[in-house]
Amino acid sequence: MAYCLVMPTRGEFQEALLQVMERKVHWAWPGFNQGMVPRELLHLHLEQEYACYVRDFPLLIGRAYVQCPIAAVRRELAENLYEEETGGLTGGRPHPELFLEYPRGLGMDLARFDRVALLPAAAAYRAVIDDATLARGWEIAAAVTTLFIEGTAHERGEVEPNASKRPQARLSQHPLVKHYALPVEHLALTRAHRQVEGDHRQSAWRILLEHVPAAERQKVIEWMERALSGWLTYRDEVAEACGLIRGADGSPQRMAS
């Protein structure tokens, strides 16, 4: 449930954001992690992720940057943008290019990634992202990009010392390696994220907690809720396209052939 506060305190703002992120969990994800998606459908997942936000993520960060009048925030966003656009702090290649190592290593036709048609819910989710980053001010743009899109359900571990951190399995246990025989050397993006993601998580929280004016906090919360709603519907659609359905117990199951 969304927080509805006239002007949230910093603590209330943080808690509201955390509660949004803790609901960024989709019923189908265990199916993807357990290799339940037929290999011949796996490309649909990667294509939709790439075209929906991965390919343009540096641009999305840039939209927040150009709207922001606060130099300290711009510096944080600029570092994130530099890494996403160039890979200059990690692998030396833009992160969208590193993402394409997944389908390349799986032997997929990379030409497909140049002509992806977004599924309806994916297009709707992208429309929410575009609205949030183009027309709603730097606060909402920064929140939706640096916190919602980049963040996970384990954000509490980034701001509360006693909360559990995001788990990190060995690269050899990555689902694409374990279930689809992806060579480990094609996990370039995963490696890059592990090198910079801690800094990016801390940066996102500094930006939002230290610089978003109190009068703008409720709007940020509302747009985070919109992003979550769009993402959940988008993930429902991708799961179905990849041959998964939600069982009576809420767990993913393969569609009957």
Average pLDDT over residues 101-112: 97
Is residue 251 a part of any domain in this protein? Answer: no
Q: Tell me the residue range of the domain where 25 lies.
A: 10-161+169-243
252 vs 4, residue with greater confidence: 252
Q: Could you give the number of structural domains in the chain?
A: 1
**Poorest-confidence range of 48-52, 122-126, 166-170, 173-177?**
166-170
Is residue 226 a part of any domain in this protein? Answer: yes
pLDDT value, residue 198: 63
Could you tell me the maximum CA-CA distance found in the chain, to the nearest angstrom?
56
Give SS3 for 252. Answer: strand
**pLDDT class of 92 with cuts at 50, 70, 90:** confident
- State the DSSP code for 53: I
Q: Which positions ≥6 away from 203 have C-beta within 8 Å? A: 76, 79, 80, 146
pLDDT value, residue 213: 97
pLDDT tens-digit map of 8-48: 999 999 999 999 999 999 999 999 999 999 999 999 999 99
pTM, full prediction: 0.94
Is residue 177 a part of any domain in this protein? Answer: yes
Rg over CA atoms, the chain: 18
Is residue 29 a part of any domain in this protein? Answer: yes
pLDDT value, residue 1: 47
Is residue 51 a part of any domain in this protein? Answer: yes
CATH of the domain at 211: 1.20.910.10
Q: Residue 91 above 70 pLDDT?
A: no
Quote the strand ranges of the chain, DSSP E: 244-246, 252-254
Is residue 257 a part of any domain in this protein? Answer: no
pLDDT value, residue 114: 96
Q: Residue 196 above 80 pLDDT?
A: no
Is residue 181 a part of any domain in this protein? Answer: yes
Q: Residue 74 above 90 pLDDT?
A: yes
Q: How far apart are CA 198 and CA 236, in angstroms?
A: 29
